[in-house]
Structure 1
């Protein structure tokens, strides 16, 4: 009986899947690079754990081939570190080892690897497993196709897990100001660049803070709700610092998205939602912090409702700012360049959960 045909190699139109090969063995990395490129992949190389983690966070690959034996760490530890990051938690990882031992295979799978191959490498088997892993990832995961960040299903699961565990945490909702005017002025491709820039600034700020606080690395999460909306889940004590860093990074980088004349002006010409001509400032990021430090929330819909009440207020500033929920007192805008002003919070009425769910009181 003839073999079943494997999925067609990724040689069609569109970007090629990007593979990161992490291996320091003489000749093998270059051999794998040549083989994978011949079969339609874009390949980058790393030869130690530190360089691999840096490269994969700066430019997340679509899949990773990871050798167990590295000069500065072992593949199991590196795999676990990758799985703790928001960017790499869903990326398929195939581990390689020279030891055909059941215990090593189990250790790799428990560290978070999706598959395991022993050396010498059967390249056809490796290719088939890579193709299967990529296809499975696209089908099963809800990662946003533009930013590769976890989507709504993962966000909901993460929030429910922390609520069920009664963990103290904060949720930061991020949205872009003046994004529609920018999209109208420059088009959707430039708009996608703005969304990717926002994602990069959020991830770099959060991952940087997490790296400085090793005791709470597993408590940091970044998700992409869709469009220009993002969510960060993190320890409440780090929420304000993270927001300040997001604002600093985004405001420093966003002028580069504009043409030279618009950069000189500091604004663009456009039309508001009523069709009237208006000058629009540069895109800013509006952030809302909702904390569950006192464990008063029991359902994600309640958190979303509080954030919705504050979101329009945060966006009213037109520039980058963040707003904290202070139910025991006033809710106030907080930004490095803006003075705080008090506002009475909206009534604690539950609205529909943004991701299509309802809170218990809405059922």
Structure 2
């Protein structure tokens, strides 16, 4: 492996954990261990491992329940998971794959197989997912892949494209560390909105910087977008000093270095759906959503976040003959 990876092993069997720890250590990995599901979830959230080896047959909180919780939480949703199961665990394998497991190793296992599957999972994750290191959300490659999958499978969807207004002024005034914390807050608002309103079909991604994308069902789209805007407007306040928050604007410099007053950050969310248009390629989806977002951002300064659905259709006219 090109760089040292951090792998979390979650298994209630001490002997299995010791064996896996030895194999992974020999492969150049940093190994973390948990003996139950609750501790495994805590370690996953706190330590941000690059990969998790998760036993299906954990006591109390089962491996499948742990996997479901991992996939729901922003900080752990993109971490690849290899499930450990017994010889007769076909049903568990199917259930795990449906919940988002990346691979399986059957007990009793050969150490060479474990090492090969771990290295393969880490390579795939680094190459294909492009997860943002700050938010741990899937990056641009995964956003494109998920959009193309829904287009290919003819699944109706809404594509949301969101970014912050006046984020540069915020960064200039308070520094990059404060800007990163605000980006994390936006990521939390997005994933929480999806978990609340579209847990079955929702997908959240981080394009980069303060740009985010989401895919939802048509029915959930307005609820997710409204929730995102409302949560962000509520939680942004904690990122401002009391004086600036009370005043309702900050003093910074424009792109030419001239002093200027800027409003508090808000969101602009452009949304395009398959309800009105034939969306047959990712470039078209992204371009229309970006156009809607740009239209919002070109308007006068405002105190609250806004969203805009593209209501246009591709149909110019119908032949009446």
SS in 1 for 2:261: strand
Deviation per CA, 1:14-52, whole angstroms, max 9, x where unpaired?
Answer: xxx4x55544x3657996999889x87484758348x86
**Aligned match of 2:103:** 114
1:153 maps onto 2:141 in alignment: yes
Q: Structure 1 pair 120/130, CA: closer, same or farther in 2 (3 Å)?
A: closer
1:206 shift after superposition: 0.7
Deviation per CA, 1:249-278, whole angstroms, max 9, x where unpaired?
Answer: 222222222345434444321112243311
Q: Does the CA contact (< 8 Å) of 1:109 and 1:116 recur in 2?
A: no
Q: Structure 1 pair 113/293, CA: closer, same or farther in 2 (3 Å)?
A: same
1:199 maps onto 2:187 in alignment: yes
1:46, 1:284 → 2: CA distance? 43
Q: Does the CA contact (< 8 Å) of 2:143 and 2:205 recur in 1?
A: yes
1:267 maps onto 2:252 in alignment: no
TM-score (norm 1): 0.68
**Aligned match of 1:293:** 275
SS in 1 for 2:198: helix
- In the alignment, structure 2 segments of 5+ residues that lack a partner are 316-321
SS in 2 for 1:236: coil
**Aligned match of 1:326:** 311
1:224-263 alignment, distance < 5 Å = 224-263=206-245
1:177 maps onto 2:159 in alignment: no
1:325, 1:259 → 2: CA distance? 36
**Aligned match of 2:36:** 47
**Aligned match of 2:152:** 164
Counting matched residue pairs gives 308
Deviation per CA, 1:95-125, whole angstroms, max 9, x where unpaired?
Answer: 223x345857965885533241526996x98
- In the alignment, structure 1 segments of 5+ residues that lack a partner are 1-5, 11-16, 212-216, 329-346, 349-363
1:89, 1:60 → 2: CA distance? 11
Q: Structure 1 pair 59/205, CA: closer, same or farther in 2 (3 Å)?
A: farther
Q: Structure 1 pair 110/320, CA: closer, same or farther in 2 (3 Å)?
A: closer
1:199, 1:160 → 2: CA distance? 23
1:89 shift after superposition: 5.7
Q: Structure 1 pair 53/262, CA: closer, same or farther in 2 (3 Å)?
A: same
1:241 shift after superposition: 1.2
1:174, 1:8 → 2: CA distance? 33
**Counterpart selection for 2:63 from 41, 63, 75:** 75
Q: Structure 1 pair 183/127, CA: closer, same or farther in 2 (3 Å)?
A: farther
1:71, 1:102 → 2: CA distance? 16
Deviation per CA, 1:113-138, whole angstroms, max 9, x where unpaired?
Answer: 3241526996x986786466334422
Q: Structure 1 pair 120/232, CA: closer, same or farther in 2 (3 Å)?
A: closer
2:216, 2:88 → 1: CA distance? 38
Q: Structure 1 pair 100/179, CA: closer, same or farther in 2 (3 Å)?
A: same
1:43, 1:314 → 2: CA distance? 46
2:14, 2:143 → 1: CA distance? 41
Q: Does the CA contact (< 8 Å) of 1:163 and 1:298 recur in 2?
A: yes
Q: Structure 1 pair 285/20, CA: closer, same or farther in 2 (3 Å)?
A: farther
**Aligned match of 1:142:** 130
Deviation per CA, 1:304-359, whole angstroms, max 9, x where unpaired?
Answer: 3322332223223444111122227xxxxxxxxxxxxxxxxxx99xxxxxxxxxxx
TM-score (norm 2): 0.75
1:247, 1:46 → 2: CA distance? 40
1:242 shift after superposition: 0.9
Q: Structure 1 pair 206/56, CA: closer, same or farther in 2 (3 Å)?
A: farther
**Aligned match of 1:94:** 82
